[in-house]
Amino acid sequence: MSNADSGLVDDVRAASRLMVRELGFMEATVAATDYPPSAVHTILEIGIRGPLTAMQLGEILHLEKSSVSRMVRKLIDSGELNETVDPDDARIKPLSLTAKGRRTLAALHAFGRHQVEGALAPLSERERRTVREGLLLYARALKAWRTAEEKMPAAS
């Protein structure tokens, strides 16, 4: 990118920071729960994808194994998650939502939908589509860049 694009880059960075703050990710707990962002995302991902192992969660959420282990333990202890043992391989321990976890998931979806609907309400249909397409493009671009960076050899 050229220096002429630095204004664009700065604007996207500023908007990204504002979105993070407005979505509540700078707070100790998120989405009207008592949980930090990583725990909220864990409940959402298991709720959307179905049972996942701690290793799969780490890959999806880009978290270290030790962070995932501590967070999963807290969610199990709080009654949100259930850990089972795979009957074919005792080393595999899928995590699933408990009844409490499914209620929390429903509350998270309701909170998120309310927040997004409120933000989109004053926009025209065209502006709403622009927001959706822009966010999808940006999210895909961020993922593609991170994936390419991970494949680059480490500088020594």
According to the model, what pLDDT value does residue 62 have? 94
Residue 67 contacts residue 60 (beta carbons within 8 Å): no
**Cα separation, 134 vs 113, whole angstroms:** 18
Eight-state DSSP code of residue 114:
H
Instruction: Scan for tokens 């995302």, then name that residue.
Output: 41
What is the value of pTM for the model shown?
A: 0.87
Side chain identity at residue 6, one-letter code = S
Q: Per-residue pLDDT tens for 98-132?
A: 999 999 999 999 999 999 999 999 999 999 999 99
According to the model, what pLDDT value does residue 116 have? 96
Query: Considering the domain 26-149, what is its CATH architecture?
Result: Orthogonal Bundle (1.10)
Q: If you count them, how many residues does the chain have? A: 156
